[in-house]
Amino acid sequence: MYFGKSYSRYISYNGLNIYSKSLVEIPAPQYYVFYNGTDKADDRTILNLSDAFKVPVTEGTFEWTAIMLNINYGKNKELMDKCRPLQEYSIFIKTIREYTEQGMVIEDAVNRAIEDCIQNGVLAKYLISHKSEVIEMCITEYNEEETMAAIAAEAHAEGKAEGKAEGKVELLIQLVKNDVLSVSEAAKMMNMSENIFADLL
CB-based contacts of 153, cutoff 8 Å, min separation 6? none
Please name which of 84, 131, 141 lies closest in space to residue 111, comparing C-alpha atoms: 131
| Reported confidence tier of residue 34, pLDDT bands at 50, 70, 90 | very high
Q: How far apart are CA 95 and CA 119, in angstroms?
A: 13
Q: Mean pLDDT across the stretch 92-110?
A: 93
Residues in the chain: 201
**Is there a contact between 179 and 186 (Cβ–Cβ < 8 Å)?**
no
Q: How far apart are CA 126 and CA 55, in angstroms?
A: 46
As beta bridge partners, residue 15 has: none
Burial class (CB in 10 A: 0-12, 13-18, 19+), 186: buried
CA-to-CA separations, 21 to 11, 27, 166, in angstroms, rounded: 16, 19, 61
> In the 8-state DSSP scheme, what is residue 49?
G
Q: How far apart are CA 102 and CA 90, in angstroms?
A: 19
- The answer, yes or no, to whether residue 73 has pLDDT greater than 90, is yes
Give the pairing type, strands 32-35 and 65-70. Answer: parallel
Tens digits of residue pLDDT in 134-188: 998 888 887 766 666 666 666 656 555 555 556 667 777 877 787 777 888 777 7
Query: What pTM does this model have?
Result: 0.62
**Is there a contact between 30 and 65 (Cβ–Cβ < 8 Å)?**
no
